[in-house]
Amino acid sequence: MGVNSIIIGTGSAVPEKVLTNAELEEMVDTSDEWITTRTGIKARHIATKETNSQLASEAARRALKMAGVNPQDLDLIIVGTLTPDMPMPSVACLVQKELKARKAGAFDLSATCSGFLYGLAVADKFVKCNRRAKILVIGSEVLSRRTNWNDRTTCILFGDGAGAAVLTGTREDRGILSTHLHADGSLWELLTIRGLGTAHPVNQEILDKGWQYIQMQGRDVFKHAVRALESVAWEALNANGWTGDEVDLLFSHQANMRILDFLRERLGLEQEKVFINIHKYGNTSAASIPIALDEANRAGRLEPGMKILMVAFGGGFTWASAAMRW
Ligand code: ACO
């Protein structure tokens, strides 16, 4: 029998400050009613003093504690993020320093909202080569620093936070059963932070254009997101010989409640089989799935043998799935 990766610990961390829809009503021309009906979001956590690497490290500590794994026994740290503390070093290296994970390699992975699932796929391959490997996969974002707080079409959507999972191997018939990764760079302009990279370094013109901020063609992204999420979900189901209603719990990237409802209907899932926490956190990009996974885990909603499907979609475009038997 081959080796499967299993998740032996999860953790998450969000900034202290909560920003409600009511507070956003004071900042831009919007309403709680619009935000709730269009997105399902009621509140989000916003970093004031916390950095991405601090949130990532805290989520990691909690996951390691649950797993009973000493940081010094970690082999690898992968952080999915599009909002690192700085271009160099990586968030993963800062987490490695914080945890004193002396033996671990560490790198960031840039796949926007699919970052955690891309990270899981990479970690899974490492574990398949070394059953005893211990790998930390984190999704962590501080999108609020790349949000234009005068743009009502985007500022109501995003939140900050981090989620983490510790992986190792087993010969048992459980754990990660499949991963599928996809991308379409031709559509990058629909969802982008154009500026402050090396193509458009900081200068007054770039700042005046607002290219330091996230820019999204929401309606177009929505159409692509529902199509891609449904197709990657079916791809995972077919690869494992599962029907839609066999899934015990679906973790989809929490971008919009209407997207989650659409997926639930298309897969023929009952309401309680779709994990939802978008109302509390908004869209936390790469952190969204691992935060949800940790909440479900700590709430006792993950039972051995359960069929878990995870799907994500984000800028790039990127989209991905992971199917697991818990
Ligand atoms: N408050 C009030 N009105 C608003 C707001 C707001 N915050 N924002 C937009 N509006 C207005 C618009 O101006 C527009 O008015 P008009 O009809 O007079 O022109 C109207 O509301 C409808 O706007 P739409 O953009 O068509 O609204 P839509 O129903 O598409 O919802 C949303 C917008 C929530 C952004 C949606 O398109 C969406 O969720 N898109 C997908 C997001 C996603 O999946 N992203 C992928 C991952 S994110 C990542 O990778 C980082």
| Mean pLDDT per 10-residue section of the chain, whose length is 326 residues | 94 98 98 98 98 98 98 98 98 98 98 98 97 98 98 98 98 97 98 96 96 97 98 98 97 97 96 97 98 98 98 98 98
Question: Would 4-173 and 177-325 be classified into the same CATH topology?
Answer: yes
Distance, CA of 171 to CA of 2 (rounded, Å): 6
Distance, CA of 251 to CA of 195 (rounded, Å): 31
User: In what helix (H) or strand (E) does residue 12 lie, and over which residues does it extend?
Assistant: strand 4-13
Confidence at residue 207, expressed as pLDDT on a 0 to 100 scale: 97
Say if residues 245 and 220 touch (Cβ distance below 8 Å). no
Distance of CA 250 to the CA centre of its chain: 14
Token pair belonging to 75: 């082999």
> What does the CA dihedral 206, 148, 292, 183 come to, rounded to 10 degrees?
-40
3-state helix, strand, coil in the chain (%, to 5): 45, 25, 35
Q: 283 C-alpha vs ligand 1 centroid, how far in Å?
A: 13
10 Å CB burial of residue 25 (0-12, 13-18, 19+) is middle
Q: Which residues of 213-240 are buried (b: 16+ CB within 10 A; e: fewer)?
A: bbbbebeebbebbbebbbbbbebbbeeb
Dihedral pair phi/psi, residue 203, rounded to 5° = -160, 170
Confidence at residue 15, expressed as pLDDT on a 0 to 100 scale: 98
Confidence at residue 103, expressed as pLDDT on a 0 to 100 scale: 97
Look at strands 76-80 and 105-109 and give their pairing.
Answer: parallel
Look at strands 307-314 and 175-183 and give their pairing.
Answer: unpaired
Confidence at residue 234, expressed as pLDDT on a 0 to 100 scale: 98
Is there an atom of ligand 1 within 6 Å of 316 CB?
A: no
Q: 148 C-alpha vs ligand 1 centroid, how far in Å?
A: 14
Ligand 1 atom with minimal separation from the 112 CA = 50
Task: Classify domain 177-325 by CATH architecture.
Answer: 3-Layer(aba) Sandwich (3.40)
Distance, CA of 87 to CA of 259 (rounded, Å): 32
What is the reported pTM?
Answer: 0.97
Distance, CA of 317 to CA of 93 (rounded, Å): 26
- What's domain 4-173's superfamily in CATH? Thiolase/Chalcone synthase (3.40.47.10)
Of 21, 93, 253, 297, the active-site residue reads 253
Q: Is 182 annotated as catalytic? A: no
Say if residues 127 and 76 touch (Cβ distance below 8 Å). no
Q: 219 C-alpha vs ligand 1 centroid, how far in Å?
A: 6
Of 113, 155, 256, 297, the active-site residue reads 113
Mutate to test the pocket of ligand 1, among 31, 155, 219, 289 (most ligand atoms within 8 A of CB): 219
The full set of domain ranges for the chain reads: 4-173, 177-325
User: In what helix (H) or strand (E) does residue 218 lie, and over which residues does it extend?
Assistant: helix 218-240
- Residues with Cβ within 8 Å of 265's Cβ and at least 6 positions away in sequence, in order, are none
Q: Is 70 annotated as catalytic? A: no
Is there an atom of ligand 1 within 6 Å of 218 CB?
A: yes
Distance, CA of 162 to CA of 297 (rounded, Å): 15
Which residue lies with its CA nearest to atom 5 of ligand 1? 153
Token pair belonging to 131: 């059953």
How many other CB atoms are found less than 10 A from the CB of residue 247?
23
Token pair belonging to 175: 């754990």
